[in-house]
Amino acid sequence: MKAQQRTVRAASAVAAIGGLVLLASCSATLETETETETADVAASGVLTDICPADVVIQADWEPESEHGGIYELVGDDYVIDADSKSVTGTLMDGDEETGVNVEIRIGGSPVGYQPVQSLLYQDDDILMGYGRVTETIPAADTNAVVGIMSTLEASPYSIYWDPATYPDVESVADLKDYDVTILMGSDATVWQDYLLGTGVIEASQIDQSDAPKPATFIAADGADAEAGFASAEPYLYEVEATEWGKPVEIGLIHDLGFPEYFQSMIVRSADVTEQAECLTELVPILQRAEVAYIEDPAATNELIVELVEEYDTGWIYTADQAEWSIEKQKELGLVGNNAEGVLGGYDIERVQELIDLVGEYTDYDVSEITPDTLVTNQFIDTSIGLQG
């Protein structure tokens, strides 16, 4: 079980009395130096000298179950920095120390809601972080990034509605027949352009206001649908929002023909070459961590909840929600192997399909964009996947 090692800093004044105390002090210093050298040797591992001493991973949001794989990396010696909203500990490969530390920084309000793609180019200390493949295209000329591992096989983006109010609605497309308002939120998305362009929804259905969740949905008493994450908001309605207290029907954007690689692990394009030795060893460790978390999430969920409490940003996330989320991810196929039975690998034809969809349904110029621009399977260990 992961248990926080709290660091206590206390200043103490020590008076040296006579030569005996001085001798004891020197002896203790030599002993401490020897112990340090021994610890350094013991700490050497597969990533020593090929990766940064502190592997910094930038999350795109607050701690949550969808990020379980990166928090699985964090050793039991972790230290939480509530001011910087980060956690640092030995980077573990299962029970094995890798010889370096991992630091995980959160996204959201602490970074002004900036995308990881932008943060990578603002801070060289960040080695990698989460990005959505289609949403890395607009800045490909200025802040080029490459996906090195897909942490989710399908995107949790979804639209959900009340099945009791609309018993004949079987898919998102059916909502159009009833002119159902969809609470989209204020941020325009590529997949929204796709749904409009293909006629799955009509522009008249979209409420682009930044309506608060879950209050607006609940106030509509089932009349409205809402866009969100299938692995998160439905829990609010089913469990936490007692004013609602019943399931919602979920329609994944993935199932509507927009197969986004959501939460792809991205690096600066130059680092595919410059950090190749590190990434060759590190990416399989990330793959194994994802598998370990999916198969046994309990201990890491405890860490996630602890971080939420310590960071105290206003984000609320409980142990029950974390457990519900990973089970929902499994149920919906959000986590899992690709068609070749590999966890984390990219389907290159699927990436090309995404490029084509962006080119067709948005104003972005994708004429110079190829799958190799956006992703690589170079570091993926094809022997790693979920069993059964």
Per-residue tokens: 36: 């340090």
Q: Which residues contact 98 (CB under 8 A, 6 or more apart)?
A: 45, 46, 47, 48, 51, 90, 91, 92, 285
Adjacent-strand bridge partners of 58 = 105, 129
Percent helix, strand, coil in the chain, to 5, is 40, 15, 45
d(CA 7, CA 283): 30
d(CA 126, CA 60): 13
pLDDT, the chain, mean: 90
More confident residue, 9 or 227: 227
Adjacent-strand bridge partners of 131 = 264
Using DSSP's 3-state secondary structure scheme, residue 298 falls into helix
Adjacent-strand bridge partners of 309 = none
pLDDT tens profile 28-52? 444 444 344 334 434 579 999 999 9
Q: Which residues contact 233 (CB under 8 A, 6 or more apart)?
A: 160, 213, 214, 226
Judge whether residue 183 has pLDDT over 90: yes
Q: How far is CA 173 from CA 121, 176, 191, 218, 386, in A?
A: 39, 6, 14, 22, 33
pLDDT tens profile 228-241? 999 999 999 999 99
Using DSSP's 3-state secondary structure scheme, residue 98 falls into strand
Judge whether residue 326 has pLDDT over 60: yes
Residue 12 has a pLDDT of: 35
Query: For the whole model, what pTM was predicted?
Result: 0.88
Helices (H), 141-270: 190-197, 215-219, 233-235
Judge whether residue 388 has pLDDT over 80: no
Cβ–Cβ under 8 Å, residues 136 and 374: yes
pLDDT tens profile 49-82? 999 999 999 999 999 999 999 999 999 999 999 9
Judge whether residue 217 has pLDDT over 70: yes
CB atoms within 10 A of CB 12: 4
When pLDDT is cut at 50, 70 and 90, the band that residue 270 belongs to is very high
DSSP state, 238?
I
- Mean pLDDT over residues 78-87, rounded? 98
Cβ–Cβ under 8 Å, residues 65 and 302: no
Cβ–Cβ under 8 Å, residues 61 and 114: no
DSSP state, 186?
S
